[in-house]
Structure formats: C-alpha cells, structure tokens
Chains A and B, each alone.
Chain A
C-alpha cells in the first residue's frame, strides 16, 4: 500500500518561500501518474495547488501558478512543493496526494498533512 510522508518547515515568514517534501513508500513513484499538492484553509475549503507527473511534467492552478513550483525526484521517490511570496492568506494545511488506479484526478493516497503558518 502506497504511503506518503510529508516533511518541511511549519512556520514561514511573510514574503518567504514554503518548501515541502513528500516521500513515497510502499510502492513505486510510477504507481501514480500524477503526484499532487492540495491545501485546506482553516475554514475547511480544499484547493488544488498542482501536480507533477513522474516524468516531470506539471499542471498548476492558475491562481497560484506564478508562485508555485512542483518537482519530482524519481530516484529518491520524492516530490516537492515550493511556494514563494507567502502571505498570511497562505496559512493552511498542506497535503501531498497521489492518484490511484481508479481515475485521473482522484486522490487516493494522502500524506498526513502539514499545518503551515505564515507569520513573522
């Protein structure tokens, strides 16, 4: 069973850059075509940030695209999120996730989530 383990700083300064890592275990990084980052506001709203294919291709949410970079390292079975110019509005739970075999865009595998707070 594929498991995702997130890591990275939980506190980011305003105007700083968020860097999160998601490690994949229990299966191949090729077990999912697309590896995804999602965030959830303190009020509960879910927002799709973007995804990376194991070959390196990416798709981003246009609302965040100018600030986001998602990449993959297949040799280390990891994928990454970088989000720049962070503000208080970016305070949220950040999840890494992956498609299962069911259908594209369906998030079957989830990391444990990281509460990221933007504060000085």
Chain B
C-alpha cells in the first residue's frame, strides 16, 4: 500500500493567515492526489483532485500543487469557515489511501 504522510498533524493559525499543508506519498503517484475538508460531525468534502483541479463551488483561496511524491494544499487567506481537518488521498493505486489528517486550530 502507498503510505500518505501529512504534516503537520495540527496547525494553530489565525484568520487571514496563509496556510500550507504538506502531503508525502511513499511512492510516486504522478498527480493523482485529492484533498478533502472535514468539519466535526460532518462528512468529508472533496476540495481538489488531480493535485490542482478545484471542485466546483470551492473558494479560490484554496489551491494545490506538487507532483510525484510531494504535494501541498495552500489556503491563501484563512477564513473562519476553514477551521477543519484536511486529508489528502492518493487516487491512482489500489487500495486508495488517505493521510492521517491535519487539523487547523484557532491560535
């Protein structure tokens, strides 16, 4: 299985901050990387797929980049609605696997 490792596990941030979350794959996944946002008590919501393609309706402050084994999710200016846990997922090799999550906390 491909192991997905996110860093950091927790990030203390403030509204307006630029936020970067990193996801590393244990082997190359080309650009087959998705990002999900999950709020407490809610189901995950896909934000980005194929590394940088933004889902319809997702604010433009979210962006993704990377290739191969290292990827980033960037939130250009954090908004109150963005406090959540973010997961990466490789969607090329079975079994599909997820990172352990990065929780954004209020500083």
A residues in contact (CB < 8 Å) with B: 44-48, 50, 59-63, 95, 100, 102-108, 110-113
Contacts and interface: CB of A to CB of B under 8 A. Distances in A.
Contacts of B53: 102-103
A1 to B, nearest CB: 11
Interface of B: 1, 32, 34, 36, 43-46, 49-50, 53, 55, 85, 87, 89, 91-92, 94-98, 100-101
Contact of B95 (A62, A102, A106): A62
Given A63-B95, A105-B91, A95 B43 contact: yes
Secondary structure at the B interface, as helix, strand, loop or mixed, is loop
A36 to B, nearest CB: 8
**Which of A48, A61, A104, A106 has most B Cβ within 10 Å?**
A106
Nearest to B85: A44
Contacts of A113: 43
B49 A103 contact: yes
A105 B50 contact: no
A112 B43 contact: yes
Nearest to B97: A48
B71 to A, nearest CB: 14
B11 to A, nearest CB: 15
